[in-house]
Amino acid sequence: MFRFVVFVIVLLLGDVKSVSRVVPLLSGWHYDDILRDSIDPVASIIVMWSSTWCKEAFERFGLTPEAEDLPSRAHVFIGHYDEAAARKQVWWEEENFLDDRFNISLAPAVVYIPPGGNWENYQLWDGGVQHWKDWVRDRLALEVLVQNEATEALSFLWPRIDNVTEALLVPGASRKVFLQPGQRVVMTRKTKENNEEFFSAPLQALPSKSCAHGEVQQIIFDDQILSETIEQRHLRFQEENKYMKEQDQHLNARDQDTTFTHAAMIRQPRTVPGFDTTAYGLIELPQEVRDHMWKYYKEHEAYRMIEAYSSIATGINQHIVNTTLVSFDLDMSQRDYIAMHLIQPYVEQWAKRPLEFTSFYGIREYHRGHELRMHVDRVATHVFSVIVNLDQQGIDSDWTLDVINFDGTRNSVVMRPNTMLFYQSAKLIHGRPKPLNGTLYANAFCHYRPLDWPYEYGAGDILYRREHDRKVPVVDYKVPFMS
């Protein structure tokens, strides 16, 4: 079982929970990225509806923002998709709308995607005698073989939707039951004093590719488990519950990060002002910049480190492979000289305006398998940006920078070593979503903004523009359960 390191959960801009447990999916692309956030995605449930012609039916459907009566996030992803809103807000070309992908003709409807994330194996509920939640539970149900390998008879209890069932198992007997992911089996033993002892299964595996619907899990009770003290059982229960809670928090936080990224791609490019220059431009790295950067790289590469990256951040697939960094913090005078005296004049010439340097934190080294998610940069500080490609090693195929132009069309840019790319990074959607097919790809990123730039972030995941003595809200990145 893959265990995540759990960090304190902090949103990108504030302490507001910007999206509910049930994620409002903004696009098909949004859902695909959530699938890619996990090595082994759990099952997915997506409620399909339309705010133009079945909003009242959706409101009566029984899906709440936290879905308390369905398994938690560690066991199943739950989202809903408003096809009318998606078609209204998605402004780029080549979008794979989910209602087309899943052939939705009636709504509200429910789509089930099994563990592993292969959406082509989806199943569809679009009405009928069976309630949609019962239909969902049938598909999530895990077949579990409970075995009594102890030397005395035991009775066990297992939960159903509206009751608890009990059965007696003599030594060596077993029984198959169906459980929802995360549910526990409880064994009962009566002592001579007629006191009952309860304890749950020692194994609570999360549903994954190895325990998908149709496969049988085993839960074994033996004399070793019976010998546990009550204190030992309580400690084990606490550890299991803590781990499950951490898993839920971790995955919910990653859902929020990915949802924030997609909300920004939808809302930010059409709100942030453009400038009278190209969206991006590629040039050869000027010789003086090249000499200084390579000199710094060679002098400090022995101090490279694994890049610090929160476990809830989803911009780079760090849960699969780590980036390394040669930091400019090792010599800030050299950082400032390269950024402000060598690179900045070229950026100002391209941007056609004076700029303020804001960030140049190091040379990031990507490694085989890395992906950089499509995104837009921070409006407050990353307005005009530069990618310097210093080195490429063992490259089997081009690792293109993909961009979505301001008119919604898509392009791919091939960078070679010792080239420099200018781009309007807060407005131009960009990334490297295909896995790196190579050994090493070393980039440095330098960021600037116009002088007296009036944009800043405030509480509640909101971008503001300063106007005289007040702040005007410009972009709200929160995604409400229903809009």
CATH code: domain of residue 225: 2.60.40
pLDDT at 234: 79
Range of the domain at 104: 23-134+242-256
| Mean pLDDT, residues 461-471 taken together | 93
* Helix (H) or strand (E) run with residue 296 in it: helix 287-300
- Which one has a higher pLDDT value, 360 or 239? 360
Give the pLDDT score at 212.
39
User: How far apart, in whole angstroms, are the C-alpha atoms of residue 152 and residue 188?
Assistant: 11
How many structural domains are present in the chain?
3
One-letter amino acid of 289: V
Looking at the fold, whether 282 and 370 belong to one and the same domain comes out as: yes
Q: Are residues 120 and 35 in the same domain?
A: yes
Measured from the Cβ of residue 143, the count of other Cβ atoms closer than 10 Å reads 14
Of residues 179 and 90, more confidently modeled: 90
Measure the CA–CA gap between 246 and 201, rounded to whole angstroms.
19
Q: Is residue 476 part of a domain?
A: no
β-sheet bridge partners, residue 464:
456, 473
pLDDT tier, 5 (very low <50, low <70, confident <90, very high otherwise): very low
Side chain identity at 427, as an amino acid letter?
K
Same domain, 65 and 126: yes
The two beta strands, 196-200 and 186-190, are antiparallel
State the pLDDT at residue 184.
79
Per-residue model confidence (pLDDT) at position 19? 78
The larger pLDDT score, comparing residue 201 to residue 234, is at 234
Instruction: Say whether 348 sits in a helix, a strand or coil.
Output: helix
Instruction: Classify residue 468: in a domain, yes or no.
Output: no
Quote the Cα angle for 477-260-36, to 5°: 160
Query: Which H or E element spans position 84?
Result: helix 83-89
Q: Give pLDDT, residue 416.
A: 98
Closest CA to 43 of 203, 183, 204, 206: 206
pLDDT digits (tens, 9 = 90+) for 228-248: 777 887 787 788 888 889 999
Q: What is the pLDDT confidence band of residue 215, given thresholds at 50, 70 and 90?
A: low
**What is the share, in percent, of the chain residues with pLDDT greater than 90?**
71
**Residues 60, 171: one domain?**
no
pLDDT at 382 over 90: yes
pLDDT, mean of residues 336-359: 98
Q: Is-contact 289 295, C-beta < 8 A? A: no
Q: Supply the DSSP symbol for 225.
A: H
Task: Check: CB of residue 273 under 8 Å from CB of residue 353.
Answer: no
Q: What is the pLDDT of residues 293-326, one digit of tens each?
A: 999 999 999 999 999 999 999 999 999 999 999 9
Pick from 390, 383, 375, 381: nearest CA to 348: 383
Say if residue 287 is in the same domain as residue 328: yes
The secondary structure of residue 330, as a DSSP letter, is G
438 assigned to some structural domain: yes
Domain CATH code at residue 89: 3.40.30.10
Mean pLDDT of 138-160: 86
**Do 430 and 294 fall into the same domain?**
yes
In angstroms, the CA 358 to CA 116 distance is 41
Q: Same domain, yes or no, for 51 and 184?
A: no
* One-letter identity of residue 26: L
Domain presence at residue 473: no
264 in a structural domain:
no
2 falls within a domain: no
Q: Band the pLDDT of 191: cuts 50, 70, 90.
A: low
Average pLDDT over residues 145-169: 82
Quick one: CA dihedral 99, 100, 101, 107, positive or negative? positive
Ranked by mean pLDDT, the top range of 183-187, 239-243, 320-324, 479-483 is 320-324
Give the DSSP H/E element, type plus range, for residue 243: helix 230-267
Q: In this structure, is the dihedral angle defined by the CA atoms of residues 232, 236, 242 and 246, taken in order, positive or negative?
A: positive
- Residue 50: predicted pLDDT: 95
Residues 324 and 437 grouped into a single domain: yes
Shared domain for 29 and 76, answered yes or no, is: yes
Quick one: pLDDT at residue 194?
47
- Cβ neighbours of residue 142 closer than 8 Å, sequence gap 6 or more: 178, 179, 180, 181, 207, 211, 213, 217
Report residue 482 as tokens: 């229903």
DSSP class of residue 49 equals E
Task: Calculate the average pLDDT of the chain.
Answer: 88
Residues 193 and 94 in one domain: no
Q: Residues 412, 400: contact at Cβ < 8 Å?
A: yes
We report the CATH number of the domain holding residue 361 as 2.60.120.620
DSSP secondary structure string for all residues of 446-483: EEEEETT--EEEETTTEEEEEETTEEEEEEE----S--
Residue 106 corresponds to which tokens in the numbers above?
A: 């009636």
> Per-residue pLDDT tens for 407-430?
999 999 999 999 999 999 999 999
| 348: its two tokens | 């100002």
Instruction: Tell how strand 216-221 and strand 142-148 pair up.
Output: parallel
Rounded CA separation 477/252 (Å): 17
Mean pLDDT of 275-285: 97
Find tokens 């959607």 and name the residue.
429
Count of CB atoms situated within 10 Å of the CB of 483: 9
Q: Is residue 477 part of a domain?
A: no
The total number of residues written for the chain in this structure: 483
Specify the pLDDT at position 460. Answer: 81
Same domain, yes or no: 150 and 186:
yes
Q: What does the pLDDT read at residue 164?
A: 78
| Residues 91, 164 within the same domain | no
Q: Which of 145-154, 157-166, 364-373 has the lowest mean pLDDT?
A: 157-166
Beta bridge partners of 281: 422
Q: Is residue 4 part of a domain?
A: no
